[in-house]
Structure 1
């Protein structure tokens, strides 16, 4: 994504591999969302994926719009390099653009289709960002915005150790960490996250809202296990100081690659969650 400034300490070469794996696991959401999006705008001359990361969604956009100029936009050069490499592997035509948001919105050029997935919450003034996006849409253009949904679940309620309901409590800790992250963003503006209303205030027409499921039942493959491990590791870092000692110990055991009860080994790990897509149209 482009709103990386509060993640400047990360090694994007290393993080890029994890992000690509994560995007591949939740790809069913992207696939379904793009089918819906294409039904509203089957032809496009120019397509932007803003906050593209390693290019999983951007490459799919390039596949379904082979005659369009598809541009992956991100603020991390290492992620754009991964996007180009992925496009080469898949044989699709993809351009990349290095940009920092929100400063560079005005430099991106106009587009018929814009995809922005889980990026706006990294920007302090989300309404101002939506207004910028509205300005990038060509008449008749469509913006697809992915934000929110349902928390992902990986484990049964009772995992055989620790206090029952661990992942629900981890959700609370992560939510508090997210609120703290938002509070520290530059130029943060508090707003009720009614995305349909925000779209309308930005001068676009709210054209629909749909949620799409990610469902990988147990037993899962090794790549999906790696996704679960990396997500729980990140959530633990995000909410570590908000967990009780017992829950911190539970998380440590779940992340231990040598423990048979850890997520890399136990047979009952799954992935179940949903992401919500808001569609906006330019009059």
Structure 2
């Protein structure tokens, strides 16, 4: 997490308002977190850190994979951190600190060189992403690893032709969100471009043996009612980012001066997400989940 309440031009990200959703995500992704944690840990790891821990899902998975290690979960928002503390149930140590403040507060929170640092979808909220990667790399013990979960491929949930509106609706939502993300990045105070990939960022931070692992997640149709509702809520949230109607206090005012979606597409989405309407996605049996998430890993020299 980049900060307690981040105002980004037209876009507001209220992390406290996101705390409950992040906790739900941590619970829902327990299987993915456990599978990825198993590929990252070593029996010799003694200090493991989750920076920008959100709901604490990966921190808990790392602690369960390494019961003899010290696992530290770090986030910049106290409400988010409290959700992580509850979710991890005493398995990890939770510390309040921000990447925006450089390496030293993180170093004090960890209190020892780290054998493994995990940061998922958090570095891209730093104004200077390379500086954030540099800071994280500086916290590693010799031979330690920094794993950044950033990017991958856009998730797919819907058929191409939904029988309403123009086909390819989900593709156009991805493009709109990509434009939204660019405005978010450009509007961060002190924003610094990073016109290269995450593996280059890790290499520039002085790490070696840099590589990427991408993890496929797939749930074929028909989805369970719970999974279908999770997908629908995720789509509803994405629309909230783009229309300024995000849940709680988050992601407001995004449409103040710009329309991210074509009005015709927006009208279709509103029908698809209306539980009382004939086109509600909750009535469909052909929703699926297909996602690819990438983890970029670098090693500190020995």
Q: Same fold (TM over 0.5)?
A: yes
CA shift digits 1:16-70 (9 cap, x unpaired): 23223334444454333222212xx332111110000111111001101111111
Cα distance change of structure 1 residues 205 and 29 upon mapping to structure 2, 3 Å threshold: farther
- Given that residues 143 and 279 in structure 1 are in contact (C-alpha distance below 8 angstroms), is that contact kept between their aligned partners in structure 2? yes
Counterpart contact for 1:213–1:274, Cα < 8 Å: yes
TM-score (norm 1): 0.91
**Pairing 1:258–2:276 present:** yes
**Structure 2: how far apart are the matches of 1:181 and 1:31?**
31
Report SS of the residue matched to 1:233: helix
Report matched runs for 1:201-212 at 5 Å: 201-212=204-215
Give me the whole-angstrom Cα distance separating, in 2, the residues matched to 1:193 and 1:223.
Answer: 38
CA distance in 2, matches of 1:234, 1:105: 32
Contact 2:23 2:84 survives alignment (8 Å): no
Alignment of 1:1-283 (within 5 A): 1-6=1-6, 10=14, 12=16, 15-38=18-41, 41-88=42-89, 93-103=91-101, 105-109=103-107, 110-240=113-243, 241-283=259-301
User: 1:267 Cα shift?
Assistant: 1.5
Alpha-carbon distance in structure 2 between the residues aligned to 1:81 and 1:159 = 40
After TM superposition, the score normalised by the length of structure 2 is 0.85
How many residue pairs match? The answer is 277
Q: Provide the rounded CA distance (Å) in 2 between the counterparts of 1:127 and 1:146.
A: 15
Answer yes or no: is the 8 Å Cα contact 2:202–2:210 preserved in 1. no
Q: 1:11 to 1:44 in 2, by over 3 A?
A: closer
2:15–2:80 contact (8 Å) kept in structure 1: no
Q: Deviations over 1:228-257 (max 9, x none)?
A: 223212321333422112100111112112
Q: Distance in 2 between matches of 1:170 and 1:200?
A: 33
Which runs of 5 or more residues in structure 2 are unaligned?
Answer: 108-112, 244-258
Structure 1 unaligned blocks of 5 or more: none
The answer to whether the 8 A contact 1:154-1:270 is kept is yes
